[in-house]
Structures are given as C-alpha cells and as structure tokens.
C-alpha cells in the first residue's frame, strides 16, 4: 500500500511540476532574471508550496503518518555558513541550467541528453558535497 501511495503522490508531484512550468528551463530562468525580462509567475508556485508545508508542519505535531514512519520536523531556522554556501551553490546551478532536483528527475523523460548530463552532475555533487564539507570543516 505504501508503494502505491508513493507512486501516486510522485506522479501528482511530477504533474504539478509540469503544469506549473517548473520543468520549463526558460520559464525558471525568466523567474530568476529579476533585473531583465522578469517572469513573476513562479512566485505563485513557490507560495503554493511554502504555505501548505508551513501549515502541514503545524498540523502534524504530535501525530503519526497513517502509513507508518515519522513526520519530518520543521527545519532549524538557523542561518549559518553551510546553509548560505549551499543556497548559493543551489542558486547558481538553478540559474545556469534552469533545473532543480525535482524538475531534473521529471526532465529525464523529455529533456534529452542535457537532462541526463545535469542529473549525472547533480548526483556527483551530492556525493562530493559531504566529503568537501567534512574536509573544509
């Protein structure tokens, strides 16, 4: 049952990314181009993700998921060196390519070789980042 729900939710998430324009790299880069031809429509997508998640964190306190496991806690609001560096690197990658992890996975079905190259680079970054963090700490 848990796998079926995960499949349905994943499909819904992918459909939402596609319908919202998050898989369209030109739309994403237009959102990030605040000093040029700025496209503010993805602000509604961001709000449509942030607001329900903030509410969900409040509603899940002291509760357990129906399908088992634990709800993730809200992240610690501390802004430190790691969060700033990670955010900058994420933003640079997002701005250069127009993809972040969710849309990158969705783009594997239609993005051609560019989507595959981005996914390989993203996975390599996920492997290297903790090692680099430990070395610099």
Query: Tens digits of per-residue pLDDT, 55-79?
Result: 988 888 888 888 878 888 777 888 9
Cβ pair 55, 77 in contact under 8 A? no
Q: What one-character-per-residue DSSP string does 27-54 give?
A: HHHHHH-TTSS--TTHHHHHHHHHHHHH
Split into its structural domains, the chain has a count of: 1
Q: What is the pLDDT of residues 109-118, one digit of tens each?
A: 777 888 888 8
Positive or negative torsion for Cα 112, 116, 117, 121:
positive
User: For residue 86, what are the domain limits?
Assistant: 2-136
Task: Supply the pTM of this predicted model.
Answer: 0.67
Crossing angle (nearest 10°) for helices 112-136 and 81-97: 160
**Predicted pLDDT at 45:** 84
CA atoms within 13 A on the CB side of 71: 15
């Amino acid at each position: 049952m848990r796998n079926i729900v995960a499949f349905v939710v994943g499909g819904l998430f992918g459909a939402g990314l596609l319908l919202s324009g998050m898989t369209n790299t030109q739309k994403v880069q237009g959102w990030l181009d605040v000093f040029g031809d700025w496209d503010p429509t993805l602000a509604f997508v961001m709000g449509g993700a942030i607001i329900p998640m903030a509410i969900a964190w409040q509603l899940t306190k002291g509760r357990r998921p129906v399908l088992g496991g634990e709800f993730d806690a809200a992240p610690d609001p501390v802004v430190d060196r790691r969060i700033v560096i990670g955010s900058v690197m994420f933003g640079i990658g997002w701005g250069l390519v127009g993809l972040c992890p969710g849309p990158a996975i969705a783009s594997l079905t239609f993005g051609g070789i560019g989507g595959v190259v981005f996914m390989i680079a993203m996975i390599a970054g996920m492997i290297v980042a903790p090692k680099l963090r430990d070395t610099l700490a």
